[in-house]
A and B are shown apart, each in its own frame.
Chain A
Amino acid sequence: MTKPNKLKFKEALIGWQFSGIYLIYAAIFWGYPFVWLLILAFSRWKFFGKPKPAGFDNFIRLFQDPIFWRIFWNTINFMVYFIPMVVLGSFLFALALSKIKYFRTFFTLSFLVANVSSGVAYSILFSNLFSETGPVNSFLYKVFGFTIPWFSDPQLALLSIAIIVTWKFIGYYGLILFAGIQAIPKSLYEAAELDGASKWIQFWKITVPLVNPALTTVLVFAINLTFGIFTEPYMITGGGPMRRTLTFLLHIYTTAFQRMNPSYAAALAIITGALSYGCVILVRKLVEREVNLI
């Protein structure tokens, strides 16, 4: 069916109207900040007057800044705690869920409800729950005779934050993996069963390779989450003790809005974005495999 030209023109007009609204909005709230981000990163500016061109000064200063490297290692350190913990935990959760017939909704909801906790509220909750006199420590003291300085010990604080973030995200990531496991055809397992493959071999030869897309998704989410952490350290530790829980976002915030140095913060934001992008690419290269069914 060929359309008359007039109708075609009308359709294009409506299309351009809607796209136009989107593009104008994006130009104001995305394009304009994008350009400013680049201008700021390559200049010196304190919120007033005209930005003075500064070349790569901000970036050079950044790489010589010990605080930047502290944050860099904090982030690596956090990933070393968080990613194995959350991936293993959510994988076990997904496997358990796929073995279970009854109460599945109850288990799913009780793990998932942690995920809808608001950042500020759960930070307040956990800083009291794990405080010196909080219920977790008084339980430990009663049973084992010692307490753990969850958020005040420099090394432990980061681990404690990794633990509460894991609490929040295991249900969510677990369900992504569960959906991946459910999508594997049952006939593959039946065929393996007939060939005499043990459950263990079935797990490594069927489940693990075929759940790869879901696993990659979870890893990418976890990395993006790591680089975007702000609320927990802001609320609970304020970046301390000894800057061990300082994150990129927290530093961008304090640099721009408390030390009034937005151009330096813009350079930091670009580097942070580049690092998180680099990590995602790296994980995709290392983990992602083509999965072809049939």
Chain B
Amino acid sequence: MRIGNRRKIKFGTIFLYIIMFVLSIIWIYPYLWLFLASVKPSEEIFTRFLPTRLTLEHYQFIFETATRMERPFIRALLNSIFIAFTITFSVVFTSAFIGYAISKLRYRGKNLVFNFIIFQMLFPGFMFIVPLFVLIRTLGLLNSYSAIILPSIISAWGVFMFAQSYKSIPQDYIEAAKIDGANTFWIILRLMLPLTRSTASIVGLFTFIGAWDNFMWPLIVMKDYQKMPLAVLLASFNHEYSSYVGPLMAGAVIQTIPMVLIFIAFRKYFLQGISMSSK
């Protein structure tokens, strides 16, 4: 009786593993197809899964020919890297400082600021797109990097995340550092940030992904092909030359690779960030 039961469980478990393997393959398959499509000859993209020969002609097209067609993809890749890194760096540091003021310092009106941040987070970003465009136009910043970067350099969510994680650090640490003569900058950069490294990584990771993947806003404020982030240039290329499937796939691979690499490198923090989201 018992042995039979155990066998049944074992069979069920093996079945579960098989299903999970099959599903995992199905989930990875689009990526695999994308990558293979970018390295196989054009005529094989829709006819064969595995290419008969490998070719880099699509990458060559996207990096050389497209540049001559006024679609500078190398430039766009560098633009994206510059924009995403600037935003991420700025958000992590401003959040670390402002979060410290909100959770660790004592002064009048502190709770008011904190409640204001919570209030801000109630409003979805898309509500502000039209008036924010008006602001950027009034400031004369259309078609500049600032138009994309400035609205995102400080994040209410980032401040909130740091403020919450600082709460678990005992006040004694800060008092001890102060007695040793540390100023506020030293306390934040050398004491608080290292102690909340995982929060910093989570904020940085999600900000980077958001900035890299942001599409609607740069699409609205950036019409200059030389300053477009990759996502926008790729989208406009897709609209104008949708029959160039191979180069499009190469472009999609280039747009995806940094996100996947960063995800694999920081997967631990990605998982932590996810399990924190329901608390």
Chain A interface residues (CB < 8 Å from chain B)? 8, 11-19, 21-23, 25-26, 28-30, 32-37, 40, 47, 96, 99-100, 102-103, 106-114, 116-122, 124-126, 128-129, 133-135, 138, 167, 170-172, 175-176, 178-180, 213-214, 216-218, 221, 224, 227-228, 230-231, 234-235, 248-249, 252-253, 256-257, 262, 265-266, 269-270, 272-273, 276-277
Contacts and interface: CB of A to CB of B under 8 A. Distances in A.
Nearest to A257: B220
A269 B27 contact: no
Interface string B245-279: 10011011101100110111001001100110111
A30 B155 CA distance: 11
A118 B212 contact: yes
Contacts of A178: 275
**What secondary structure prevails in chain B residues at the interface with A?**
helix
Contacts of A172: 274
B107 A37 contact: no
Given A34-B128, A40-B130, A120 B255 contact: yes
B: interface residue count bin = 35 or more
Contact of B231 (A12, A47, A120, A273): A120
Interface in B78-98: 94, 97-98
A252 B130 contact: yes
B184 interface: yes
A262 B134 contact: yes
A269 B259 contact: no
Interface of B: 13, 16-17, 19-21, 23-25, 27-28, 30-31, 33-34, 37, 45-46, 49, 94, 97-98, 100-102, 105-110, 113, 116-117, 120, 122-124, 126-135, 150-151, 153-154, 156, 159, 184, 209, 212-213, 215-216, 220, 231-232, 234-235, 238, 245, 248-249, 251-253, 255-256, 259-260, 262-264, 267, 270-271, 274-275, 277-279
Contact of A262 (B98, B130, B238, B270): B130
A230 B37 CA distance: 26
Contacts of B107: 11-13, 15-16
B238 A124 contact: yes
The residue in A19, A126, A235 that gathers the most chain B C-beta atoms within 10 A of its C-beta is: A19
B130 A112 contact: no
Given A99-B16, A113-B263, A19 B101 contact: yes
Contact of B34 (A15, A125, A171, A213): A125
The residue in B20, B123, B260, B271 that gathers the most chain A C-beta atoms within 10 A of its C-beta is: B20
